[in-house]
Amino acid sequence: MNTGDKIIKLRKEKNLSQEKLADKLGIARQTLSSWESNITTPDLNQIRKIAEIFNISADELIDNNIKLVIQKVNNTETLAKKQMKFIKIILITLYFILMIAIIGFIVYMINKKDYTNYYQPEFTCYVNDKQYQFYLSTDEEGNSVIVSYMPHIKSTEEYAAGDSVYEMFASLNALKKVIISNGGKCK
């Protein structure tokens, strides 16, 4: 119930006309009529005077229900607790995702192969008691090549080695495996 309706109800309970109540409040009857019609509302001093005349509190007159206010505060607190719980769950989840990512990165770094140590950049092989030396180099055009030097006949041959460091070492290692599989020995 709004303030205007309460004023009408209280005025009728005390059998007061608009004129009599307006006189007690020191206002015009038209002002009281606009309050009761909910066109305007009384100011704080007028609310106090009305509350005194009807022997009620100002809160009762303006329907300032403290129970409703407490209920709204409790609802707000409940909602805030739920939101905080949700935020905590998100933060804990993000923490675990971050920890898994860090552990994964550490494991990756520990297990990462360093192909420069795995493959030899040069080696010597013996096939039928003849010595062959192999090593990585570049040709006149700047391309990576595998150089095969045969000291017993003082001859050199070049083979394409690949574009990346990995491809160059893989090519050199593949050549070494072919020589070994055909009965050669390499150091």
Out of 1.10.260.40, 3.90.105.10, 3.40.50.2300, 3.30.420.40, which CATH number does the structure's domain 3-61 have?
A: 1.10.260.40
E strand or H helix at 109: helix 66-111
At 24-63, the pLDDT tens digits run: 999 999 999 998 998 888 888 888 999 999 998 887 777 7
Please, are residues 145 and 159 in contact by the beta-carbon 8 Å criterion? Answer: yes
CA distances in angstroms from 17 to 34, 36, 41, 130, listed in the order given: 14, 12, 19, 131
pLDDT for position 83: 94
| pTM score above 0.85 | no
pLDDT for position 43: 86
Summary mean pLDDT of the chain? 83
At 61-114, the pLDDT tens digits run: 777 655 655 677 788 899 999 999 999 999 999 999 999 999 998 888 877 665
Indicate whether 116 pLDDT > 50.
Answer: no
Q: Determine the 3-state secondary structure of 143 from DSSP.
A: coil
Q: For the chain, what percent of residues have pLDDT higher than 70?
A: 90
pLDDT for position 117: 45
